[in-house]
A and B are shown apart, each in its own frame.
Chain A
Amino acid sequence: MTPILECQSLIKRYGKKEALSSVDLTVNRGRIVGLLGPNGSGKTTMIKIASGLLTATEGTLRIDGKLPGTETKELVSYLPDRPYLNDWMCVADLLSFFQDFYRNFNREKAVEMLARLNIGLNDRLKSMSKGTKEKVQLILVMSREAELYLLDEPIGGVDPAARDYILNTIISNYSENAAVLISTHLIADVERVLDDVIFLAGGKVALTSSVDQIREERGMSVDALFREVYKC
């Protein structure tokens, strides 16, 4: 089966600065993968290339065997690290927007998840707290029956209760046909949700492994290993 995400000697330069230098990696369907690394290690760049917001300088990135484009955008559900929704819209507008543009958007699922958080369909984005906005974004993104979920720092800067909510949402949406790529530097929090981890350092892949393998072979948690690898 074609891997859902595959990079071959992927390079991204901003001017002279190399954000990604020759990255090779593969993500298979049915896996929840952590893209781990400190700030500036290339996590966001990587995810943005996969979602089609950045263009690679050299090398290729393929999604289900296809280069990023209109076709792959149908397969990829992307959660950016910032608010990106039009704030003049209310929740119902957003639902219609997603339904209009994404064939795989499951409106009932979104409505149910919103109801569980007591977010009204007529609530305006403008009047929501930052945390609620982030949850609305997550709900919209996770309500798509996509094949690759790209979540950029989904738990950065949220309180522990919200963090648990986000992780549980990811777990309960698990599908054997889809892969989830979560970028974060808060490893202890996501560790038990992950199958595999990819460590990025300075735009290079420093390590790829399964979580079990790290624990079995090294007798330490991924978090502990991370601290060792990235010791300042």
Chain B
Amino acid sequence: MIWDFQGDRPIYLQIVEQVQLRIVSGYYPAGSKLPAVRDLAAEASVNPNTMQKALAELERKGLVYSQRTAGRFITEDKSMIEQIKQSLAREQVDEFLKKMQALGCTVGEVITLLSQMEKEEIK
């Protein structure tokens, strides 16, 4: 996975989002150890202080926990990960629906379109 940052928002917030995505997608499995701040910072080419801030934010959210000497780990709470997955998916769908609305499609039409596409894909 590649780190990618936009210019209009604080970088640490974007790191938080991208780490969440990595956890949800299983790139960082539940309970696994995170690389050290310095290495993560180097990997993402960002300032170590920024990376630190992002990880602190993730800790606050409970997605990551730190053990004093061993380092930082991804939460083992699978239901929490699932919950975040749901909310992320919801955000994406929300946005998608907004765009469809702008095209003049109702939710019903979108659902019809989706099931039609699903059938075509199965063939």
Contact = CB atoms under 8 A, between A and B. Distances in A.
Interface in B4-30: 5, 7-12
Interface residues of B, number: 17
Contact of A220 (B7, B12, B42): B7
B47 A193 contact: yes
Interface string B31-51: 000000010011001111110
A170 to B, nearest CB: 9
A109 interface: no
Task: Sort chain A's interface into a size bin.
Answer: 20 to 34
Given A171-B41, A172-B38, A212-B12, A223 B46 contact: no
Contact of B45 (A167, A195, A224): A167
Interface in A13-38: 30-32
A221 B7 CA distance: 5
B40 to A, nearest CB: 10
Given A215-B10, A221-B7, A168 B47 contact: no
Contacts of B11: 192, 211-212, 215
Nearest to B6: A221
A221 B10 contact: no
Given A168-B42, A174-B38, A221 B8 contact: yes
Contacts of B41: 171, 174
A192 B42 CA distance: 11
A193 B12 CA distance: 12
Contacts of B50: 192, 195, 211-212
Contacts of A164: 45
B45 A193 contact: yes
B24 to A, nearest CB: 24
A59 interface: no
A223 B46 CA distance: 16
A219 B38 CA distance: 27
B48 A174 contact: yes
Interface of B: 5, 7-12, 38, 41-42, 45-50, 53
Interface of A: 30-32, 164, 167-168, 171-172, 174, 191-195, 211-212, 215-216, 219-221, 223-224
16 contacts: A167-B45, A168-B45, A171-B38, A171-B45, A174-B38, A192-B50, A193-B46, A193-B47, A195-B47, A212-B12, A215-B8, A215-B11, A216-B9, A216-B10, A220-B8, A224-B7
